[in-house]
Amino acid sequence: MLRRTAFAKKNSFDDLLAAVFKRAQAGGLIEESPRAAVDATGFETSHASAYYVGRAGYEPFMRRRWPKLTTVCDIGSYLLAAAVVTQGPSNDSPQFAPAMLDAAQHVAFDRVTADAAYDGEHNHRLCREELGIRSTIIPLNRRAHPNAIPQTHYRRQMKTRFFKRLYGQRWHIESAFSQTKRVLGDRLRARNQPAQYREVHLRVLTHNTMILWCLNAKGFQQSIRGSKR
């Protein structure tokens, strides 16, 4: 996947992701009413840490761009159901729709949470009306008009009845990012952009495979204990 050949394997990645979630469904990892969280994270591409760059005073490097992964995390299992890779820093909202459309192919989510960077009536409509998701919890972005009442239907609901307790479940996707970066590292080894994008896709698959491996290992240990009894 990391060679310089053209990455005409988007369907292959989707097929592998579908196989992961088929196995997860069979193993009972996916809840009866699955909950999702949407967010993005960036990856380092330099061998020098951000701390070193800041201390050394290399200000031009502080403005560099990096690969950004936008994904949909199944809160119950921490499996990643989509991978939309772009260049950061950039606005997060445009990646919401492609990420949700990809994720919906693998899991029929009941609720979706995302932070204020994804605030937009079109994102609510996509989830509620096109994908059949029962609930979307996205806080209003109050930068321009902090006290204004939204005129659109779903954003007005976020003003009148915002479920803060349910929105608090969004932090699980941060834990998923922490998991994969602690185990696999936060720096990509690939040097050119196409290879970096392929490596991010590979990391998503690796993250999911590790979770399935833990499920299989747990089942194997339980079977061994049962046979000893």
Alpha-carbon separation of residue 78 from 13, 115, 118, 120 (angstroms): 18, 18, 20, 25
Residues 6+ apart with CB under 8 A from 142: 116
Cβ(137)–Cβ(37) below 8 Å = no
pLDDT at 197: 94
Domain boundaries, the chain: 10-218
pLDDT tens digit at each of 229 positions of the chain: 455 555 445 578 999 999 999 999 998 999 999 999 999 999 988 766 665 656 666 555 555 788 999 999 999 999 999 999 999 889 999 999 999 999 999 999 999 999 999 999 999 999 999 999 999 999 998 776 677 888 899 999 999 889 999 999 999 999 999 999 999 998 999 989 999 999 999 999 999 999 999 877 665 445 434 443 4
The CATH class of the 10-218 domain is alpha beta
Question: From CA 78, how far away is CA 76, in angstroms rounded?
Answer: 6
Task: Report cis status (omega within 30 of 0) of the bond before 67.
Answer: no
